[in-house]
Amino acid sequence: MRSSPQQKLSKSAIKAWRVSTAIVCLVFILIPLFFWVYNTFSPSNTNFSIWLIGSISAVLFIISGLIIFFLPEIRWQHWYYQVDEHEIDLQSGIFVITRTLIPVKRVQHVDTRQGPILRSYGLADVTISTAATTHRIPALDEKTADQVRDRISKFARLAKEDV
Amino acid sequence: MPDLLKKMFEAQRQHPAAALANAFDIIKANFITILILIFVGTGGKQGDYTLYWIFGTFVALLIWGVISWLRFQFSVNEGELKIEQGVFVHKKLYLTSDRIQVIDITAGVIQRIFGLVAVEIKTAGSSSKEAKINAISRQEAEKLKKLLRKGGEQETEEISEKANKIYALDNRDLVIAATTSGRMGVALSIVGAVFSQLDQVISDQEIIRFIETHLPNFTSFSIVVISIVGMILAAWVLSFLSTIITYYDFKVEIREDDLLISRGLFERKQLTIPFNRIQAVQIKEEILRQPLGYASLVIESAGYGEDQGNSNTLFPLISKERMHAFIDEVIPEYHVKVDHTVSIGKRGLRRYILQMVWLSLGIIAVVWSMVPYGVYAWFILPFMLLLGYQQYRDAEVKSGEDTIIMSSRLLSKTTAIIKKYRIQAIEVKQNPFQSRLDLADLIIHVASGNQGRTFKVRELVDEQATAYKDWLANSKRKRQLEADIDQDQSSESIE
């Protein structure tokens, strides 16, 4: 029986995810705000109920608060990965637990990717592509990400086979 | 031969007929959109404009075709195909011969008129590129093919050009295939789209007046039934015809190292699939064919984007008794002795049935609330339950030596035969309801076309799914070890 993968993501992943979730939530909070602005400046009488807008935004506020503060932490706790010379082993998911195994010799190429948020926390995603699928190990710190990428690519080179 | 090769090196244009073929390619790709645009665009009131619409669109497309023909140039240099194209954005595409998976030669209606062929060249992988040369002469196409199949293999190519064996689909089987075709779903949606556009052309009042004057005895209930039956019938005719057109004169030639599949009534398609590019084999038992003892064989091959997503039909209709002989002769490595079988336990049955219950309740709710006489939608419930039970019975994972065989059913039963060393990724997935019952789904990804294909067996016992995952991984490690030992020995013997 194989054991579960052991490696964890970088701890600062939680902070970075909080920021990116916050940005997404902000967009949703903007929607009731838009209606409120429309209400105050609209010349006609066909206004939306201020109570409805108020309660919707309150609910949105609470939900986004919960999502921003708890979800990244829980998500981080459930993410494991491991890379050895034969397989890349990933386990993730809070409710739906997915365990993925990618034979290293199937790997076509490996990327590291970094958006502005990840960069400001010194993090990067590692993306692994096979001929059929694309997988992601999110939010590793830059150095680890580079190492993981280079290791996978080295192993893949050693175990090269046709398609 | 040398001067022929030299000629291919130079950059050259396609035959001018490509302009026409380009235009028709666009029409073909957007056929339904164009159909709807014409219906909506005219709105039924000023029908006179329809002709102008059609004519205008056609002229525009033709001009586009001419420009793209002018901008298109291709050349071959040391086994590398270079294509320059693009009307607004100039694109240069380089394909090297050792990355090329597939070279297809097809002849559509336009190509046939001019005695030409189209050549499609595809590579594999998630960043797959494909190139299409729309109109060149057959000799040039064959030359191109020879040049792009790795340089040194030209002589062996000639030997393997001879077919070892040919399998053909006879007309009786073609008709059976068409009658029981699984394309009903697609056809039904097309017919549905056309029907929904009909009221743009004929107003409701006209229909009601027509019904009142001609069919005074009909209630609205029988009208609903008649229109449903009519739609299904129309869809069936459509799927019948499309199957005949697609699979007319179907032939598989088995050669030294590749399969040559040719088919089609108006458009002759010719595909060459090298044996070593086959990623998986599927046996599909469509719901209408299964009781007759027929199935179809489908192969997944890296670098194909053909019918049914990215798969290719190896044989459209074959009786189950003949199938084993066929597999033995055509793809013998996919005939394996099974030494381990796992089917779904009783706990899994509960989830198969429940899923069907939720699904049918959803459908019933929608139909009941939206359609007159929707109450009768309750009739689907027993059928869905039966389907759920059948799905549970058919789901199974088997394995032998280096092969895993996964059977499952959505509507038709699919049995996928996958070589372990072809697997791109393995997944074990578990949602909270499943983890309470210790069940999990086993998912396997295989390369196919430019995206890949997924095979899934639901509700395996957690341990069994994990055991399979480990088996697939570990034995690979064993293979790896064996390979290492072999290498060591060979290096010793050299010393």
pLDDT > 90 fraction of chain B, expressed in percent and rounded? 14
| CB-based contact B453 A130, cutoff 8 Å | no
pLDDT at B162: 58
Tokens 């002589």 label which residue?
A: B155
Does residue B170 surpass a pLDDT of 80?
yes
Nearest to A132 among B276, B421, B447 (CB): B447
Helix axes B184-201, B220-247, angle to 10 degrees: 130
Can you tell me whether residue A6 is helix, strand or coil? coil
- What is the average per-residue pLDDT within A65-83? 92
Does residue B478 surpass a pLDDT of 60?
no
Does residue A33 surpass a pLDDT of 60?
yes
Does residue A34 surpass a pLDDT of 70?
yes
First-to-last CA distance in chain B? 43
Mutation for testing the B interface, residue in A89, A104, A105, A133 having most B CBs under 10 Å = A133
- What is the average per-residue pLDDT within A156-160? 75
> pLDDT tens, B205-232?
676 677 667 666 666 677 777 877 888 8
> pLDDT tens, B222-280?
777 787 788 888 888 888 888 888 888 898 888 877 788 888 888 777 777 878 778 89
HSE of A64 in the Cβ direction (CA atoms, 13 Å)? 18
Nearest to B445 among A86, A97, A133 (CB): A133
Nearest chain A Cα distance for residue B423, angstroms: 8
Q: Which of B60-69, B188-197, B371-380 shows the lowest per-residue confidence on average (mean pLDDT)?
A: B188-197
d(CA A101, CA A82): 10
ipTM: 0.78
> pLDDT tens, B179-212?
887 666 666 777 776 666 665 556 666 766 776 6
pLDDT at B390: 93
Instruction: Name the burial class of residue B380, with classes exposed (0-12), middle (13-18) and buried (19+) by CB atoms within 10 angstroms of its CB.
Output: middle
Q: Answer for the pair A132, B126: CB distance below 8 angstroms, yes or no.
A: yes
Nearest to B124 among A98, A101, A131 (CB): A131
Nearest chain A Cα distance for residue B128, angstroms: 9
Q: Answer for the pair B145, B105: CB distance below 8 angstroms, yes or no.
A: yes
pLDDT at B185: 66
Answering whether pTM is above 0.90, one says no
Residues in B closer than 8 angstroms to A159, CB to CB, are 480
Q: Which helix (H) or strand (E) holds A139?
A: strand A134-141
| CB-based contact B429 A134, cutoff 8 Å | no
First-to-last CA distance in chain A? 29
pLDDT at B86: 80
